[in-house]
Each structure stands twice: as C-alpha cells, then as structure tokens.
Amino acid sequence: EVQLLESGGGLVQPGGSLRLSCAASGFTFSSYDMSWVRQAPGKGLQWVSTISGRGGNTHYADSVKGRFTISRDNSMNTLFLQMNSLRDEDTAEFYCAKGHGPGGFGYYMDVWGRGTTVTVSS
Amino acid sequence: EIVLTQSPATLSLSPGERATLSCRASQSVSSYLAWYQQKPGQAPRLLIYESSNRGTGIPARFSGSGSGTDFTLTISSLEPEDFAVYYCQQRSNWPLTFGGGTKVEIK
C-alpha cells in the first residue's frame, strides 16, 4: 500500500525555523516527483514546492521562495521541507503528495499524506 | 501566474441529482487540469487528471471535460459520500495553482 507520513510540524515563533519530513512507502520513491501543498485554516489548497525524482529540479511558490527549501533522500525514501524565516501567514496544514506519473503527470498529486500542522505565532 | 476561478462557490443539491462544477483559467492551460475532492478533516483525493482521465479507483459517475480555459467536472448522480469540496489544479505553467474550491452541500 502506498503511504505518506508527514512529521515535524509544531508551534514556532515568527522568524523561526522548522523542518518537515515525509516518510514514503509502498512505491519506488526515486521514480516520482514529490510536492508539498499547504492549507491555511478554513482556506483552500496552496501549492508550495515540487522536486523531481532524483532531486535535480525544484520549483517553489513565490510566497516561499528564498525561505523554504525542498529536498529528498532517496536512500531513506524521505521528503523534506526546510522552512526558515517563518511568518504568521505560513500557519497551515502541510501535506506531502506523490506525483501521478512520469513527465508532466508528476505535477498532479495522486497520493497524499494526512498532513502536519504548522502554527506560527508569538 | 495562472488564476483558476471556480464556480459556483457553493452548490446545494440532493442525492441523486447531477452536479456541474466549473473551473475557468486566466489563460489557456491546454488539457493540463486536474480535479480533487476533499472531505472535512481529510487530505485531498485525485479524481480527474489531464482534463478527462479518471484517477485510480474513481467511480464512473465522475467525469471531466474541457480544454483551453474552460473546464467542467460532472457528477452524474450524487451519492451521499460525494458531498465535499472540489478543487481544480493546473500543471501548464509554474507556479502550479489551485482554484478556490466549490463546496457541494446537501440541499
């Protein structure tokens, strides 16, 4: 069974840092693009970042560019999101998601984790 | 950035009725559009990709259509478990973007 399990969320002060992790199982992790998507309380979905299967290509939303870094360890089947200079508006549920297939299909998300909550507040 | 506008914001229907949801893009996305369903407290689920292809295990009552800037998700006959929020998402250009969502509620 394909599974994704996020961890690392929590309460952090503005300007602080957090590192999210997403442990993957049930599929060949290195063959798929992986993404982070967030959802502020009561709001819609917002794409955050995507990384290619081998990690060589990354993309970011403008709102997080320069503050967040996506990475992956294919030997450990784990996706990461390093979040620095956190702001109040980063408060959200963060989901990791698996790409749907090769090529551009990888930019659709066909398996999602249950999410981890990030709260930025003083 | 490509803006996706979903309408209506809320759709009030009864079980068994047909639901028609719209997603309009601010510029052409070709057929590079997906639809997701999200229920309260749950992660989203991929329903449709590339405008009209159903995801794995998605029932045939869900169908997608459209190309360019105008897209439609149709649920042919609503089941009780279909009452949820639906989002569209484009992969044509970076950044990837989602629409604001349509809530399908029980009338």
The mean per-residue pLDDT over the stretch B53-80 comes to 97
Rounded CA-CA distance A63/A49 in Å is 10
> What three-state secondary structure class fits B36?
strand
Give the per-residue pLDDT at B43. Answer: 97
Interchain contact, B49 vs A114, CB within 8 Å: no
- Confirm if A45 and A37 have CB atoms less than 8 A apart: yes
Write out residues 34-93 of A within 8 Å (CB-CB) of B. Answer: 35, 37, 44-47, 50, 59-62
CA triple B60-B47-A4, angle to 5 deg: 130
The mean per-residue pLDDT over the stretch B36-57 comes to 97
- Residue A87 burial (CB < 10 Å; 0-12/13-18/19+)? middle
Rounded CA-CA distance A114/A101 in Å is 21
Q: By the CB < 8 Å criterion, does B55 face chain A?
A: yes
What are the beta bridge partners of residue B5? Answer: B24
> What is the phi/psi pair of residue A90, to 5°?
-85, -5
B42 Cα to chain A: minimum distance (Å): 7
> What three-state secondary structure class fits A76?
coil
- Residue B60 burial (CB < 10 Å; 0-12/13-18/19+)? exposed
- Kind of pairing, strands B10-13 and B102-106? parallel
Query: Which token pair is B18?
Result: 């047909």
Across chain B, mean pLDDT equals 97
Q: By the CB < 8 Å criterion, does B100 face chain A?
A: yes
> What three-state secondary structure class fits B14?
coil
Q: Give the model confidence (pLDDT) of A108-118 as tens digits.
A: 999 999 999 99
The mean per-residue pLDDT over the stretch B17-46 comes to 97
Half-sphere exposure of B34 (CA within 13 A, CB side): 24
Q: Give the model confidence (pLDDT) of A67-111 as tens digits.
A: 999 999 999 999 999 999 999 999 999 999 999 988 888 899 999
pLDDT of residue B103 exceeding 90? yes
Provide, as residue numbers in chain A, all residues whose Cβ is less than 8 Å from the Cβ of B55. Answer: 100, 110
Query: Which token pair is A93?
Result: 């549920």
pLDDT of residue A26 exceeding 90? yes
Give the per-residue pLDDT at A101. Answer: 87
Query: Which token pair is B61?
Result: 């009552």
Q: Give the model confidence (pLDDT) of B1-18 as tens digits.
A: 999 999 999 999 999 999
Give the per-residue pLDDT at A105. Answer: 87
CA triple B22-A49-A47, angle to 5 deg: 25
Residues 6+ apart with CB under 8 A from A28: none
A97 Cα to chain B: minimum distance (Å): 10
Provide, as residue numbers in chain A, all residues whose Cβ is less than 8 Å from the Cβ of B91. Answer: 104, 107-108
Rounded CA-CA distance A19/B90 in Å is 27
